[in-house]
Amino acid sequence: MNQPITVKDKQFILSISNEEIQNSIQKVADRINADYAGKEIFFIGVLNGVFMYAADLLKKITVPCQISFTKVASYQGTQSTGTIKQLIGMPEGIEGRHVVILEDIVDTGFTMREILNQLQAHKPADIKIATLLFKPNSFKESYNVDYRAMEIPNAFIVGYGLDYDGYGRNLPDIYTVVN
């Protein structure tokens, strides 16, 4: 049952089941729904990795909300490059809004730092971060990561939207690389 799978040219083993993922997302949704009671949320998802998480989280949000997306790229293969390319810019109409940024994973935190810098120029009322996954031992920044559905060790993962060189995003569960 826990047989390794191959994604492109690497082996991975199951580490977080879809059921566990859904339970952790429900807990975050409950917190967000309570924290934003009486307010409206403008979610900004960071493509590509966020697409499954954004879809599942939004179905659990009960306060009025809108969602739009931005797109950046920083990874090559299994390494964070530290250089962030902006591929789709920030959406219109951010000024004065309660923004929640949705990310699949905050690793070193460099990508999110860049997104925060750009967002601030659009003058939102406030900004919070809701990441599906957080690697505490890799994080090199000082800003608050407000909502973390799951914290994971410092190993490369794929599945549930996250990719290895573009592959593996379709897997419903999360898998960790075998070294």
Binder among 101, 127, 162, 171 for ligand IMP (CB under 6 A): 162
Catalytic hit among 30, 35, 56, 107: 107
Please give the Cα distance from 16 to 13 (Å, whole number). 10
Q: How far is the CB of 93 from ligand IMP (least distance, A)?
A: 24
Other C-beta atoms lying within 10 Å of the C-beta of residue 72: 19
Rule CB under 6 A: which of 89-118 touch ligand IMP? 103-112
Residue with smaller CB distance to Mg ion, 62 or 86: 86
Rule CB under 6 A: which of 18-57 touch ligand IMP? 49
Sign of CA dihedral 134, 139, 143, 144: positive
Binder among 18, 24, 33, 80 for ligand IMP (CB under 6 A): 80
Q: How far is the CB of 123 from ligand IMP (least distance, A)?
A: 24
129 part of the interface to ligand IMP, by CB under 6 A? no
74 part of the interface to ligand IMP, by CB under 6 A? yes
Interacting residues with Mg ion (CB under 5 A):
49, 104
157 part of the interface to ligand IMP, by CB under 6 A? yes
Confirm whether 107 is a catalytic residue. yes
Residue with smaller CB distance to ligand IMP, 109 or 124: 109
Q: How far is the CB of 94 from ligand IMP (least distance, A)?
A: 20
Please give the Cα distance from 11 to 7 (Å, whole number). 6
Q: Which residues are catalytic?
A: 107
> Under the rule (CB under 6 A), what is the footprint of ligand IMP?
49, 74-75, 80, 103-112, 156-157, 162-163
